[in-house]
């Protein structure tokens, strides 16, 4: 019976991703972010449960990637689609469905295909997850940015628009060039060869997990003081601290 527990948790991740997809399509991006965060919570604990119960399986590995494809791959693509669509209207209005090229009466003209660029993140996520399932190197560290981390980065953008309203932030986030750059950067980081540490604790020793503890404390402080603005900063700190730790370890070796 216990062997099914991690898979049930993984399916809760997938269910959360399905609900988030619906909200993202409706342009209810705040609710989409809530369910993506819930899905990532389940994604973290399915692996932890598998390790604690010693019931890791090939089925669980495949199921985990399929769930991540929806929660951390499809949903960010839909959110970027909506942000691109908002950028073409010259403003933003969370809660109203955005249709690129739609006229006043709702009819769709030839319009622009630019919002579909956002699905480049979905394609890059699929490619990364497929490689992850075949890669035996990524046991204690990640090679490339994990899809949940990338999803949090992208889902933070509508939350920043909603909770940190300012003209310069809105103009930046809803700038088509910024969104194109973010899409390309995400696709690159997801499939890069950068070695990034994983938040997997084999024990609770500070010596063995110093970087993880420092990262968690810094992240908590940033979230408390800066709220959703902290998420992009945390992702940058994650990448930079991983690189410093990796190259410092190589030099010591």
Give dist(CA 177, CA 50) in Å, integer. 42
User: Is residue 224 in a domain?
Assistant: no
Structure tokens at 78: 């839909």
102 within some domain? no
Q: Answer yes or no: is 203 within a domain.
A: no
- 244 falls within a domain: no
Taking the C-alpha atoms of residue 91 and residue 83, their distance in angstroms, rounded to an integer, is 10
| Cα 39 to Cα 13: distance, rounded to the nearest angstrom | 4
Give, for all 253 residues of the chain, the pLDDT tens digit. 777 788 899 999 999 999 999 999 999 999 999 999 999 999 988 877 777 777 777 787 889 999 999 999 999 999 999 999 999 876 555 665 555 545 444 443 434 789 999 999 999 999 999 998 887 766 667 899 999 999 999 999 999 999 987 889 999 999 999 999 999 999 999 999 899 988 776 666 777 778 889 999 999 999 999 999 999 999 999 999 998 886 766 444 3
Is 233 within the bounds of a domain?
Answer: no
How far is C-alpha 206 from the geometric centre of its chain's CA atoms? 27
248 assigned to some structural domain: no
Crossing angle for the helix pair 58-68 and 5-25, to the nearest 10 degrees: 10
Give 76-107 as a 3 state SS string. HHHHHHHHHHHHHHCCCCCCCCCCCCECCCCC
- Residue matched to tokens 């908590």: 220
CA 132 vs CA 142, 190, 218: distances in Å: 9, 11, 28
Is residue 212 a part of any domain in this protein? no
Structure tokens at 20: 């988030």
Q: How many domains, the chain?
A: 1
Residue 106 falls inside a structural domain:
no
Distance CA 115, CA 179 (A): 9
> How many C-beta atoms surround the C-beta of residue 252 within 10 A?
6
Helix, strand, coil % in the chain, rounded to nearest 5: 75, 5, 25
Range of the domain at 34: 2-90+113-197
| Residue 101 burial (CB count, 10 A) | 15
CATH at 41: 1.20.120.1760
Phi and psi at 97, nearest 5°, equal -60, 130
């Amino acid at each position: 019976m216990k062997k099914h527990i991690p898979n049930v948790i993984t399916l809760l991740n997938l269910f959360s991703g399905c609900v988030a997809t619906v909200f993202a399509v409706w342009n209810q991006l705040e609710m989409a972010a809530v369910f993506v965060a819930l899905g990532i919570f389940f994604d973290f604990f399915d692996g932890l449960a598998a390790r604690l119960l010693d019931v890791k399986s090939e089925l669980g590995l495949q199921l985990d990637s399929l769930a991540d494809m929806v929660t951390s791959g499809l949903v960010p693509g839909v959110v970027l689609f909506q942000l691109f669509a908002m950028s073409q209207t010259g403003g933003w209005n969370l809660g109203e469905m955005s249709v690129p090229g739609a006229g006043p009466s709702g009819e769709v003209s030839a319009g622009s295909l630019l919002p579909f660029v956002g699905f480049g993140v979905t394609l890059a996520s699929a490619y990364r997850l497929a490689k992850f399932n075949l890669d035996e190197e990524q046991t204690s560290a990640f090679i490339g940015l994990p899809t949940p981390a990338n999803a949090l980065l992208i889902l933070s953008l509508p939350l920043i628009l909603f909770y940190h309203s300012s003209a310069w932030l809105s103009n930046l986030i809803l700038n088509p060039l910024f969104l194109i750059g973010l899409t390309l950067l995400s696709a690159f980081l997801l499939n890069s060869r950068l070695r990034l540490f994983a938040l997997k604790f084999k024990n609770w020793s500070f010596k063995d997990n110093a970087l993880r503890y420092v990262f968690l404390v810094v992240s908590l402080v940033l979230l408390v003081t800066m709220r959703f603005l902290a998420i992009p900063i945390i992702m940058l700190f994650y990448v930079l601290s991983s690189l410093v730790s990796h190259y410092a370890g190589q030099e010591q070796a």
